[in-house]
Amino acid sequence: MKQPIFRGAATAIITPMNQNAVDYEAFARLIDWQIAEGISAIVVAGTTGESSTLTDEEHREVISFAVKKVAGRVPVIAGTGSNDTEYAKELSVFACEAGADALLMVTPYYNKATQNGLIASFTAVADVVNRPIILYNVPSRTGCNLQPKTCRALSEHPNIAAIKEASGDIAQIAETAHLCGDNLTIYSGNDDQVVPLLALGGQGVISVLSNVLPAKTEAICRKFFEGDVQGSAKLQLELLPLIHALFSEVNPIPVKSAMAHMGYAENRLRLPLTPMEKEHEQALLREMRAQGIRV
């Protein structure tokens, strides 16, 4: 049986930027606030952290900075996936040496590997690291679906410990849970499906929503674990309008806007991402105010 890397809500944290550089002062303040709000882990340099447009140097600096700033208060999970397996290996080894507690590895995008190719690629990385790996299945963005039987094969590797499931396919996730059991921890990758995945034995969520509402996102999980399933579901449903607003445009466009309005970062994104359309932004602000967020 493999132990969960964390239990609760982990924030897939934004990477604050000013002009064309990472704003480390804002990043430090954001990390401290997240931990003070009770979040269970921090995920850096993932999709929400705009890893695809960070330079190699920035990617490494963001990981190192987060590890030093968190200073062991919660686990730090570093996004190190790539469609180039050799680069993923190099970055993953670096993250381990920098002190990351775990690695988040997305399925290779654009290449659209076969299931055998996915097994070979993830195994190649797992063989060279000394930290647990969280597989990341998000076929809507990668064009590649990590199937349950593939998860079962990968879960046999001692360094492959978990999966962030953002396929949205509950039946598929249930099959993965059935096949892998305690050998693969399941985390929701969709904020609107946290409770269903917890009901299937999931141990938490890697969340975009928690950038904005860390305490309430954590509470969805905590209530469920404490046996208050009805309270957990009630909170999940209350937050649905805000969750939908945070995904009214491709992530992380809306959450970057939200965090700017909250004063935690400038509303800066790197092309090809552009600032949120005004109509969507106004709807997002309405939902934020409805949750008591000052904007």
Beta strands in 75-219 (DSSP E): 76-79, 102-106, 133-137, 160-165, 185-188, 204-207
* Active-site choice (68, 89, 112, 136): 136
Between strands 76-79 and 133-137, the pairing is: unpaired
Q: Are 268 and 17 in contact (CB under 8 A)?
A: yes
Q: How far apart are CA 166 and CA 191, in angstroms?
A: 9
**Per-residue DSSP letter, 8:** E
Judging by beta carbons within 10 Å of its beta carbon (0-12, 13-18, 19+), is residue 49 exposed, middle or buried? Answer: buried
Q: b/e map of 255-287 (b: 16 or more CB within 10 Å)?
A: bbbbbbbbebbeebbeeebeebeeeebebbbeb
- The yes-or-no answer on residue 68 being catalytic is no
Q: Which of 2, 68, 112, 164 is an active site residue?
A: 164
Active site residue 278: no
Residues with a catalytic annotation lie at: 136, 164
